[in-house]
Chains A and B, each alone.
Chain A
Amino acid sequence: MMKVFHMLERFLPLMGCLVLEIAGGSPAAVPVAAQGQPPASTAVEAKKPWTLPRTPWGHPDLQGIYTSNDNVGVPVERPAQFGERQFLTDEELAARQKQAEKAAKDEKGDRRKLAPDDTGDGPEHWYERGKTSRRTSLVVDPPNGIVPLRADMRKRAEEWESQRFGKGTASWLDFDLWDRCITKGYPTVMVPLGYNNSVQILQTPDYVAMVYEVIHDVRIIPLDGRPHIDEAIRQWWGDSRGHWEGDTLVVDMTNFSEKTLGNQQPAGPYRGGGRFQHLVERFTRVDADTINYRVTLDDPEAFTRPWTMDIPITKDDGYQMFEYACHEGNYSMVNMLEGARAREKAAAEAAKKTERAAKKKKSGR
């Protein structure tokens, strides 16, 4: 359920960095628990018999509002201590659960040591979370759960991280796509953030539509087998084409903009693809409450091989989606740029003062 009010939206641009932290899941955030027995079974306990509901025209019925809140706390990439293990042990799960409970009560907010340009974040109880997941990472292939970045791309990503703060704010172009309220990117929007992790699915015989709460992005996926749009058209959200394979909706995405390369990638800046990115998504409804969402990403410019994330989403028809009018209330962009200019002006005046003082001292001699 939606717990955070729209008031929060005003703070969104400020909070971009924390959310990346949660979504990107720094390994430190995962409890280092005893690496004992693997879970006895990853299967969920037996549920009452369930029949896949169908639309009047026979497609599996995926419709409703879903959230990825049950994946909050699962890092995109797998912390090294888990090796090739996809699921937590009972002890590890209990530790993660305990940490989630603690976070839900946190009133104090961000206690990281802040870098000079970092605004810090609000208390963790602001953030939405669902059940605690047993997954060790969202990446399930390669088996080590690490995005198979090419070495040159990894170098770019590491350079970006080392320069993240204090690199200056000459203009809005120095902020990321989320700070600018342009998009959370795709498939990053499927990775749970701190809030507004919802998607509403609607179906007709010819289309599947997906309405994402974050940045009010919408994707309308044609099912008629038409080819992708002309390759001259490049979009932040690419171009989606869907078809049914048995009871699974398979969506093929191409035509991404090269501008997506550095920005809003699931595993962080420059840890993802751009113009040559190709996604294949699979949506399979597996029970009354769950769609298994699986996405395979490929981009020869960025990755050494295709890689795959599993992000199950959970139906929550009581969830209320709110209008994510981010750009309309992006006072933070004005404030951050004004702050940067004011700081530069102060620095310039201080420098002049020093210069004048030095001259005066010199002439006074």
Chain B
Amino acid sequence: MQNRLGGGLIAIAAIAAGAVFSPSMSPSAAQTRAFTVPRTADGKPDLNGIWQAQNTADWDLQAHAAQAGRPDLGAIGAVPPGLSVVEGNEIPYRPAALARKKENFEKRMTADPEIKCYLPGVPRATYQPFPFQIIQTPAAILISYEFASASRVIRMAQLKPAPVDSWMGQSSGRWDGDTLVVDVTGFNGEAWFDRSGNFASDSLHVIERYTLITPDAVLYEATIEDPKVFTRPWKISMPLYRHLEKNAQLLEFKCVEFAEELLYGHLRRKPVK
């Protein structure tokens, strides 16, 4: 009762302030109660915070049951089950690309860029099982990911094509109402989307949308285009949750030193027999 009353008061206050979030844009947003969008000094929705996806998309973007992992890791190496984050659950691969995806899957224990501690690319950095922090300013928005100290600075401008390709791409941002829209291009085509071998090429173009749907949740949507690999654009979406711990902070996960044995172990000097 108290809660409902409280929620109603917040909604009334929000209406009075003329700042009710319009939940017309997505089904999951429609299920959330109206709230006052927190805003930065320049009046934009305030996305500052430490966020994390709570799903198993990093194992597999598509619907998947639990499966065994490396036997020597027992239950902790197993793949946790997950619902699809892909709209319609279909990734529209071209035939040759689908074959490559299957090959990637077979080789995943050595070929997945994540296992090698390589930069995760976009959108994968968003839903790896690690938090990331948004530092939002009018001209530039930093997203700092815990995994591998990866980061990107979204420049709030329409940028010329990236001068060189990169793992994390070049991010050009703008506000569409209360949604941050980020256009990401300039990828080098090396990153994967998940541990199941889903991938793209250097013609990848990702359009991301970040929308606050409660004070502590952001709806993340990403449209993925890559004519070399897919027959049509496709879309993923998921909520991102705010870390509410008072002392929450990103810690260091410099994973290079955890991947060196895997990468260089065969080149170690063998003990003299």
Contacts and interface: CB of A to CB of B under 8 A. Distances in A.
Interface of A: 5-6, 55-57, 63, 168-172, 180-183, 200, 202-207, 209, 211, 215-218, 220, 222, 226, 229, 233, 235-237, 320-323, 325, 327-328, 333-334, 337-338, 340-341, 344
Nearest to B48: A204
Contact of A171 (B42, B140, B268): B268
> Which of B117, B118, B260 gathers the greatest number of chain A CB atoms within 10 Å?
B260
A204 B269 CA distance: 50
B167 A204 contact: no
B256 interface: yes
16 contacts: A5-B164, A63-B139, A168-B269, A170-B268, A180-B260, A182-B256, A183-B254, A200-B153, A216-B151, A220-B133, A229-B247, A320-B163, A327-B256, A328-B119, A338-B267, A341-B269
B257 interface: yes
Query: What interface size band does chain B fall in?
Result: 35 or more
Nearest to A338: B267
Contact of A334 (B136, B140, B153, B267): B267
B190 A328 contact: yes
B231 interface: no
B256 A181 contact: yes
Given A216-B150, A229-B249, A180 B256 contact: yes
B142 interface: yes
A229 B248 CA distance: 10
B137 A63 contact: yes
Interface string B124-154: 0000000001011101101010000111010
B29 interface: no
B167 A182 contact: no
Nearest to B40: A204
A235 B251 contact: yes
Given A56-B42, A218-B142, A327 B118 contact: yes
Nearest to B270: A341
B135 A236 contact: no
